[in-house]
């Protein structure tokens, strides 16, 4: 009589497969569950909080990516609009830490996925609490704020982080956005595994598509900040972050420890001078495409020193 030997691997692998099947099933069910929650929640809101529901619906219909870019923090009486490439990762890390979530505090660039992941940060999107969103957007006790950045350095940062030296083939999100819209923007722009976007090529593409709402990283900031029904108490600037963010820290009555943690040095995408990247023609192209941003947020036409 022989006995068969079962190795640990033989027992572990089926278990892992089961877990994988369960997780895939959960992911496939999520859209349906969200729709079911909406079917249940919306009639209740229409009856109990019609103003809040109408406000939420208007934001969803007209604002740019509100459930992605708006953080509702009722614990702090704060509504924050995250403008990409304008210190949004640092700000979200600070807000998460202020509500006791240390998993994303002490932000580093390699932790961006945590900072912008709702489950990791515990920061609420408007859809998570329609009534709270309405209250934070309208309450005189709440602070509503956002930060913006000089369009010149914002575009340079976007290119350096997302496009520099990346082959122009599918497989990376930002590159796929470029490939999907390149033909309509300018079919002469480069494409292929042996090609990458120069800064000049990226400027041409971004300036052409800056109002198309295809990517939040180079969408005009004036469009992002145009949030119906919301009057911002603070529109800070990345260039004066330490001074402007004090308004947020004062609002939450932050301790000295929190204030110190909120003010690490800002990282820049490159240590080269701006003049090394910008020709007068490139600067003029950016100014014409983003003129509304320059005017609305008080940035001069000249390149920063």
> Strand pairing of 70-73 and 78-81?
antiparallel
The sign of the dihedral angle between the CA atoms of 227, 60, 101, 162 is negative
At 10 the pLDDT is 45
Q: Which residue has the tokens 């999907």?
A: 180
Length of the chain: 305
The pTM of the whole model exceeds 0.85:
no
Percentages helix, strand, coil for the chain (3-state, rounded to 5) are 55, 5, 35
The C-alpha atoms of residue 83 and residue 220 are separated, in whole angstroms, by 10
At 29 the pLDDT is 56
Q: What is the pLDDT of residues 107-150, one digit of tens each?
A: 455 556 678 888 888 999 999 999 999 999 999 999 999 999 99
At 265 the pLDDT is 63
At 23 the pLDDT is 62
The C-alpha atoms of residue 203 and residue 224 are separated, in whole angstroms, by 19
At 27 the pLDDT is 62
> Strand pairing of 143-148 and 234-237?
parallel
Tokens of 228: 């119906």
Spans in the chain with pLDDT lower than 70 = 1-40, 103-113, 264-271
The C-alpha atoms of residue 72 and residue 55 are separated, in whole angstroms, by 14
The sign of the dihedral angle between the CA atoms of 207, 115, 92, 55 is positive
196 Cβ contact partners less than 8 Å away, ≥ 6 residues apart: 163, 164, 165, 166, 167, 168, 190
CA distances from 55 to 73, 117, 125, 133, 142 (A): 17, 25, 14, 9, 17
């Amino acid at each position: 009589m022989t006995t068969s030997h079962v190795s640990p691997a033989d027992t572990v692998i089926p278990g892992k497969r089961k877990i994988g099947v369960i997780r895939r099933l959960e992911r496939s069910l999520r859209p349906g569950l969200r729709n079911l929650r909406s079917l249940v929640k919306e009639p209740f809101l229409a009856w109990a909080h019609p103003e809040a529901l109408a406000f939420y619906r208007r934001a969803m219909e007209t604002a740019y990516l509100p459930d992605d870019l708006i953080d509702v923090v009722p614990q702090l009486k704060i509504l924050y609009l995250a403008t990409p490439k304008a210190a949004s990762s640092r700000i979200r890390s600070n807000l998460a830490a202020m509500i006791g979530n240390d998993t994303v505090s002490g932000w580093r660039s390699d932790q961006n996925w945590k900072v912008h992941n709702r489950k990791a940060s515990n920061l609420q999107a408007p859809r998570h609490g329609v009534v709270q969103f309405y209250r934070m957007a309208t309450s005189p006790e709440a602070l509503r704020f956002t930060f913006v950045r000089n369009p010149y350095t914002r575009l340079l940062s976007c290119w350096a982080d997302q496009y520099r030296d990346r082959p122009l083939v599918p497989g990376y999100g930002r590159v796929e956005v470029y490939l999907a819209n390149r033909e309509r923007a300018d079919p002469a722009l480069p494409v292929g595994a042996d090609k990458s976007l120069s800064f000049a090529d990226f400027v041409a593409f971004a300036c052409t598509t800056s109002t198309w709402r295809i990517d939040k990283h180079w969408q005009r900031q004036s469009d992002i900040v145009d949030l119906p029904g919301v009057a911002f108490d603070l529109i800070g600037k990345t260039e004066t972050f330490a001074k402007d963010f004090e308004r947020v820290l004062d609002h939450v009555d932050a301790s000295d420890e929190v204030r110190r943690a909120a003010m690490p040095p800002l990282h820049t995408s490159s240590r080269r001078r701006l003049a090394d990247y910008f020709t007068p023609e490139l600067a003029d192209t950016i100014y014409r495409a983003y003129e509304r941003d320059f005017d609305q947020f008080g940035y001069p036409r000249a390149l920063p020193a």
